[in-house]
Structure 1
């Protein structure tokens, strides 16, 4: 049996100042927008999840730039990146790795799978079987892989950016609730505005802008940004507000399954990253509100009457339910600043 992999930890860098975090974050957003134009909200949400050490699910119809966003974000940071194309015949060992017998040493050696990277791009994750999808459960929650009784730690930071088509599409498997709950946020790209689509045609007439994209943040800088996010202050009233939002989803008549405690924890983590990106070292209720839909909606299970429903604007009804819960939950009046 092979020895567990020892992850070499980089020398700890002091956390960045909040102002510098905001500057570096803005540089990453601008860099990604040279490839993905007109999608500032999606780009910002993706970077928020990365700084909060979460995982991102990008769900939309084919051809709107889901994989391109994931690639552009990965290339904007100088770190290890791997890509997994999920297919119906993909095996769990194709994701995590496999033990191979070495004739020369007469022992089994573990060959690392593509999940051993700082940013893992999982393309069309819901085209793989549920068995293969479940191979990511341990990786995403515990940042480790267990194979043949041996545990291998994943290098930090570790983020999965997965894309998926709507479950109505042919040849897709809906992600189980346990898998969806591992993702910190779910976002949609949507179709581009006509002016952005025209710009895309002009930019990609001879080459893809992704080919010339260069990193603007090093791995050490990313770690320092994440460390700074950890230090962002969250007041007790803001924490209570996040708990009330989660509790309200559990009691809502239109929902069969509300937000889990993991959802509350990740909502606060994402709010801290959102605050840092906007140059604040404390979380406001506005940070929580801005992330309520992407962090909570994909974890909720509607009642049979609400399944597949849409709001008046044509958006998913589950998103409208979350927005209603946010509007009905009293905003805390206590100070959000560090005393």
Structure 2
């Protein structure tokens, strides 16, 4: 039997109270990572600094469960300590709401069931789900540290960490990952981030995750990105898709498209006005030849051009376009005067 040393949890609670960290102060969990002697024998419990838990809680509060910062902090914490099932439950109880904790527990137990199936025929085949999950009568952390081998504890801990990453933030509806679409104005990289997070939470089989991610990155992309990806040779990777579509949906890209659309409209307006001017000039030519002044007709030209200018958004007008428009108006006036 391995030796064990108790943790002064009361001292941890006192520190938390002193720092007004009431959530930790109120918890009854004793967070004790497992430590091993030579040859991984004589497992014992050592204190897990309460600052570690505070950092995790703060990361969730300030950055969110989906943030890269929290994910890295969680991974670092779980890699640093050999945690028992009791510790995994204690940690999750400090960062999750009650409903999130229920979802996490269900996902964790499902993963432990897959773990137990994997153990069949090996030296760990005798372990039950209750033992792996650390539920009564297997809920004493000291017993868990002595009963479960280090490699089993590592598997349990990793299953707990992956289950944590599958939990949606509190108050956020969990949409089906197959229904996540890019939309017309959403940048491809933003769409891919949402899709990746949903696949990470909802697909438990690590080996199966790349396939839906790659297929949906194309199938649920907007029309423009689909055209870009379809034109790529072979079967592009997700990374290649991102590189090819990185500009689609950005403000600069949207502005370029709008400028192109309005450019076409400006061209149509100019063409229509030229045709209208030519017809009007031809119809009025007899009157212009008899008249001593073309002021009224010149004024009509100016008013018509001003009306056309107002049709086009101001943001599309460059200095060169204004100069072109003014030059064109003057040319029309000169042309009218020549037909006098």
Question: Normalising by the residue count of structure 2, what TM-score does the alignment of the two structures yield?
Answer: 0.21
Which structure exhibits the higher relative contact order, with contacts defined as CA atoms closer than 8 Å and separated by 6 or more residues? 1
- Which protein is bigger by CA-based radius of gyration? 2
**TM-score if structure 1 supplies the norm length?**
0.21
